[in-house]
Amino acid sequence: MATETDHSLGEAVAARIERRWATLSIVIVGVLVGMAAYIGIHQATMPQGRVETADPKTLHLSGEFLESNLGSELAADGSVTVRAIGQQYSFTPQCIVVPAETPITFRATSADVVHGFLIEGTNINTMLVPGYITDLPVRFKAPGDHVMPCQEFCGIGHQGMWGRVKVVDKSTFRDMAAAKRRLTCVD
Ligand SMILES: [Cu+2]
C-alpha cells in the first residue's frame, strides 16, 4: 500500500523530470534563436557571395540573355555554358541540349515571376528569380532525355510549364556545335 512518503517522493521525482525536460526545450529554442541571429548578423555584416543581377524588363533588349544568345555554347576549353530564361509559362529554349561527361554551367533568369528549375533524374533543383542570375555548375554522366518541369507555382498556367533536357554524347555535341553558335533541341 502506498504511504504518504511514497506519494510525496513520486511527486518530487515527477517535478524533477519535468524541470529537466522544460530546461532542455528552452535550451533547444535558445540554440536555434542563437543560430538564426548569428546567420542573420553574419550575412548583414559580411560582403555577399557572388550575386549577379539582370533587369527583367530589358532582358530581350540587351545583355547576356538576348534571344540570340540563349541555348548551349561550347567554349574553347571544351566546357559548355547554357543560357535560358523562364517566363509565364515556358522556358526559352524549350529543349536544352548538352553533352554528357562535360563541365556545364547553367545561367538562367526569369522574365517575370519566380519559376522553378528542376531536371528530373538529377539533383539539379533551383529557382529562377526575376532580377537575379542563377549560375549552376552541373555535369551529366550519360546521354539521355530528362523532363524539366517548373516546380514553383508561378500562375494560372503553371502546370503546363515544362521544358526538356537532351543529353547527347560528347562527339555528337561537338559536331552540332561546329555548325551553329548556340544550340537547342527545339524542333
Ligand atoms: Cu513557372
Distance 22 CA to ligand 1 centre (A): 45
Q: What are the residues whose beta carbon lies below 5 Å from ligand 1 (ion)?
A: 115, 150, 154, 161
Q: Is the peptide bond before 143 cis (omega within 30 degrees of 0)?
A: no
Domain that holds residue 6: 1-46
Residues 38 and 63 in one domain: no
Distance 58 CA to ligand 1 centre (A): 19
Distance 115 CA to ligand 1 centre (A): 4
Residues 8 and 62 in one domain: no
Number of domains in the chain: 2
Residues 107 and 171 in one domain: yes
Residues 38 and 69 in one domain: no
> Does any domain span residue 187?
no
Q: 156: domain CATH number? A: 2.60.40.420
Distance 159 CA to ligand 1 centre (A): 8
Which residue has 517522493 as its cell numbers?
Answer: 9
> Does any domain span residue 94?
yes
Query: Which residues contact residue 117 at a Cβ distance below 8 angstroms, ignoring those fewer than 6 apart?
Result: 86, 106, 108, 124, 125, 126, 127, 128, 134, 148, 150, 151
Distance 86 CA to ligand 1 centre (A): 7
> Does any domain span residue 186?
no
> Does any domain span residue 51?
no
Distance 158 CA to ligand 1 centre (A): 5
Residues 121 and 61 in one domain: yes
Distance from C-alpha of 177 to C-alpha of 187, rounded to nearest angstrom: 16
State pTM to two decimals. Answer: 0.74
User: What count of other Cβ atoms lies within 10 Å of the Cβ of residue 169?
Assistant: 13
Tens of pLDDT along the chain (187 residues) come to 567 788 888 999 999 999 999 999 999 999 999 999 999 898 888 776 778 999 999 988 888 999 999 999 999 999 999 999 999 999 999 999 999 999 999 999 999 999 999 999 999 999 999 999 999 999 999 999 999 999 999 999 999 999 999 999 999 999 999 988 899 998 7
> Does any domain span residue 90?
yes
Cβ–Cβ under 8 Å, residues 138 and 100: no
How high is the pLDDT of residue 1? 57
